[in-house]
Amino acid sequence: MSKTLVNVNINGEQIEAPASFSVIQAFWHAGHTRVEGIGCLEGVCGSCRIMVRKANSKEVRMQLACQTFVEEGMQIIFMEFPSPTHHSYQLTDIKNSWEVQSKFHQIFPETSNCRKCGGCTESCPKGIQVQHGVELAGEGKFREAGELFIECVMCNLCMTACPEHIAPNHVGLFCRRTMAYFHIRPSNLISRLEEIRKDELQVII
Ligand code: SF4
Ligand code: SF4
């Protein structure tokens, strides 16, 4: 553990913590038994959303608290909001891949109102080109859109940032689901399945 201590402000409270700590560790270190909005601690579940402003900077970034190390003078606020989605659908209701595009626009009609403001992309802690993903989906390029959202952790920040109440992460999830459902699988997965079928897969233990 680093012996260097830094001063940060978390949710309005001044906290001193080792520089090697993540924001969550620093908050715990200060005696807070926070568990809400905290999940895997591996940067995968997207629960620990924070707004971060570094010392001497006016820029505010959206990040994940478990993946952000504290720095001197940092200001941090945990973001808490419900995670509603008003989209409900069953993939089994889509008869074939030709229907995907019309179903998509029935399920996500608000997507066509995208202002191309970039708010969703700016808010994404995973660096995903979210706006582009929404545009691709709107054009029926579901495979490309699904691949673009592959690192999405469903933190909902893009949805919160959208002035048109579009839920880009759910658009991405729809693309990923339909990709898998209609067997448009990644080429490396198909290669592995073929190796299994031919009993050629090398298992290293
Ligand atoms: S696309 Fe949206 S939900 Fe997914 S990680 Fe980025 S901001 Fe979070
Ligand atoms: S925040 Fe909403 S309106 Fe703006 S670019 Fe993203 S999806 Fe479009």
CATH of the domain at 39: 3.10.20.30
Please tell me whether residues 52 and 107 are part of one structural domain. Answer: no
Low-confidence spans in the chain with pLDDT less than 50: none
Other residues' Cβ atoms within 10 Å of the Cβ of residue 88: 6
Residue 179: which residues within 8 A CB-CB, separation 6 or more? 142, 143, 146, 185
Domains of the chain: total? 2
Please tell me whether residues 118 and 172 are part of one structural domain. Answer: yes
Nearest ligand to the C-alpha of residue 134? 2
**Does 189 reside within a domain?**
no
Beta carbon of 166 within 6 Å of any ligand 1 atom: no
Beta carbon of 168 within 6 Å of any ligand 2 atom: yes
Please tell me whether residues 104 and 174 are part of one structural domain. Answer: yes
Q: Using an 8 Å Cβ cutoff, are 39 and 53 in contact?
A: no
User: Which residue shows structure tokens 């940092």?
Assistant: 74
pLDDT, residue 186, reads 65
Domain of residue 27, residue span: 5-78
Q: Using an 8 Å Cβ cutoff, are 108 and 171 in contact?
A: yes
Please tell me whether residues 70 and 109 are part of one structural domain. Answer: no
Residue 196: which residues within 8 A CB-CB, separation 6 or more? none
Nearest ligand to the C-alpha of residue 128? 1
Please tell me whether residues 68 and 14 are part of one structural domain. Answer: yes
pLDDT, residue 140, reads 92
Backbone dihedral angles phi then psi of residue 62, each to the nearest 5 degrees:
-95, 130
